[in-house]
Amino acid sequence: MQTLVPFHTFSLNSSANALIEVVSSSELVSTLANLKSSPYIILGEGSNTVFLEDYQGTVLKISSKGITFEQSENDFYVTAQAGENWHQLVLWCLQKQIYGLENLALIPGTVGAAPIQNIGAYGVELERFIHQVEYFDLPTGQLKNLSRQACQFAYRESIFKNQLLHSAVITQVTLKLAKDWQSVAHYGELKTLVQPTAKDIFDKVVEVRKNKLPDPQKLGNAGSFFKNPIISTGLFAKLQQNWPAIPSYPVDTSQVKVPAAWLIDSLGFKGKKVGGITCHHSQPLVLTNDGSGTGQELLLLAREIRTKVQQVFSITLENEVRLIDKNGAILL
């Protein structure tokens, strides 16, 4: 048995039958061939994955490294291997004066996992920079490429969570970053910046994130536990009658996004504990593990939050994190 505590940021006490680290596409192919039909799951840095109990299979940790870039007259094309750390890539680009990724600073995890849920923060989603995603196609055993459009990105969504779930292992990602950089500084605290440089935005994002979000090295967590729900403008108008302060962000003419943190906060869950699991005191969308928490306690608290939100607001929260039980991924 192999402990998984250091391999997922929620750090619940759990293990797998085995953990194999692969550093290249050829190692990936040979490892998959050796596994034959025995169960396995793909893992990056485990910052969006929670192992609720012992997993009865093999964990394949993607650790391939390398960053290269090319340029055209107007753009940089940066290619990073799937196992590179995302924040190190943001830093690497900033140091080379390749700008655009600064709003996405300090998001934990690997480059290969970033397109899966189209990582996003501070007014920017990864999709705007995707040029191409290379993946190993399990059914055919071939390396294939998808353009940005083919990835079917949406809020915390992509083809890799849907049609290609279970059949694609991302091997590298190529980003297209414009030489004519434009700042994006309309989200929250970034509004205080006046004519910011990319470095100003990077610094502010790092500062805000360090203040708001618990550091997984010190307190186990997987970032936002739930997605921000997207609801109809009709339901939103009804909710506003009882809850005039309810915030929203426009999605399209018929839908708005509501901050789940606000819903959870309004119901008084901040600081609520079930055993070693707590609804975080400054960002209630984050559930934390004090080191003694169990998968059952996490499910109890998460389900209590989801049920209460459903009862009071008629909104169904979906988990944003991937939950793994002994047989693999489960829904809340």
Residues in contact with ligand FAD by CB under 6 A are: 9, 41-49, 62, 82, 107-110, 112-114, 116-117, 119-121, 168-170, 213, 216, 221-223, 322
Shortest CB 48 distance to ligand FAD, Å: 3
Point out which residues pair with 231 in neighbouring strands: 256
Q: What is the SS3 assignment for 281?
A: coil
Report the site for ligand EPU in 272-291 (rule: CB under 6 A): 283-285
Look up 320 and say whether it is catalytic. yes
Helix (H) / strand (E) element for 187: namely: none
For ligand EPU, the binding residue among 53, 54, 304, 320 (CB under 6 A) is 320
Among 224, 248, 297, 322, the active-site one is: 224
DSSP E strand boundaries for 157-248? 168-178, 220-224, 230-232
Alpha helices by DSSP H, 154-243? 198-212, 233-242
Look up 224 and say whether it is catalytic. yes
With CB under 5 to 8 Å by kind, the binding choice for 113 among ligand EPU, ligand FAD, none is: ligand FAD
For ligand EPU, the binding residue among 196, 259, 275, 328 (CB under 6 A) is 259
Q: Cβ neighbours of residue 6 under 8 Å, at least 6 residues apart?
A: none
Among 15, 102, 125, 156, the active-site one is: 156
Torsion angle of C-alpha atoms 228, 231, 237, 239, degrees rounded to 10: -60
Q: How far is Cα 2 from Cα 17, in angstroms, rounded to an integer?
A: 6
Shortest CB 205 distance to ligand EPU, Å: 9
Pairing of strands 67-71, 75-81: antiparallel
Shortest CB 60 distance to ligand FAD, Å: 9
Helix (H) / strand (E) element for 289: namely: strand 286-289
Decide if residue 261 touches ligand EPU (CB under 6 A): yes
Using only C-alpha atoms, what is the Rg of the chain?
20
Report the site for ligand EPU in 206-225 (rule: CB under 6 A): 212, 223-224
Look up 128 and say whether it is catalytic. no
The catalytic site residues sit at 156, 224, 320
Residues of this chain that interact with ligand EPU (CB under 6 A) are 121-122, 188, 212, 223-224, 227-228, 247, 259, 261-262, 265, 283-285, 320
